[in-house]
Amino acid sequence: MYIAIAGNIGSGKTTLTEQLTQRYGAKAYYENIDNPYLGDFYNDMSSWAFQLQIFFLGSRIQQTMEMLSSGEKNIFQDRTIYEDAHIFAENLHSMGLISSRDFDTYMKIFDLTTNLIPQPDVLIYLRASIPTLISQIKRRGRDYEMNIDEDYLLRLNEKYENWINNIYKGRLLIIDKDVDDFVEHPEIIDRICEQLETMIGEK
């Protein structure tokens, strides 16, 4: 099975990926946070937005090619290529931080790539409010995230909700992170696994 985990910055994607990977003895593919443009981006978004997103897109394409050639039976992916485009790049474009010309170039590369890769068997979406996101961002303490603007996170949440409700067409499992804290309450993982197995069995 191929399970992808989606959600805003600080929603708990990596933690859930780790827990599910351990549960199923599966292969995990994590988001590459070693983007050399991240620090520059958070300090000066308008100058570095396009470079940031192109690097993430290239990294995601490379990761997807590795997934397809791995031969692994069970795969869990931390963040998807769809989010790179429909959430982050689109948000930066709507904010005027990526020009229309650059955004069109980006989307042409994205469209070409997504025609060549399979959709996840199930997409897990971690829905979280801004206070929950801020709390978890502070808890993990990445220096380059300490100055993230709350309005920026709010815009991303709005993009996620639009994508989930109006664009994404695959099998979807929504987890309300404000209520279902699987870090504090590990038994929630049992329920998530039961739901995943039911959904996979219905495929």
Q: List pLDDT tens digits, range 127-169.
A: 999 999 998 888 776 766 666 878 989 999 999 999 999 999 8
Question: Is 44 known to be catalytic?
Answer: no
* Strand order, beta sheet including 172-176: 27-29, 75-78, 2-7, 122-127, 172-176
Catalytic residue among 78, 84, 151, 190: 78
User: 3: closest CA among 178, 86, 125?
Assistant: 125
Residue type, 122: V
Q: Is 3 helix (H, G, I), strand (E, B) or coil?
A: strand
Rounded to the nearest angstrom, the gap between the alpha carbon of residue 74 and the centroid of all alpha carbons in its chain is 18
Torsion of CA 194, 196, 202, 203, to 10 degrees: -160
User: Within 76-184, where are the H helices?
Assistant: 81-83, 90-94, 100-114, 130-140, 150-162
Res 34 pLDDT > 90 = no
Are the CB atoms for 57 and 10 separated by under 8 Å?
no
Residue 94 belongs to a domain with what CATH number? 3.40.50.300
Joined tokens for residue 67: 């997934």
User: Average of pLDDT values for 38-42?
Assistant: 87
What pLDDT score does 189 carry? 92
Question: In total, how many domains does the chain have?
Answer: 1
Could you tell me the residue range of the domain that residue 182 belongs to? 2-201
User: Average of pLDDT values for 34-48?
Assistant: 89
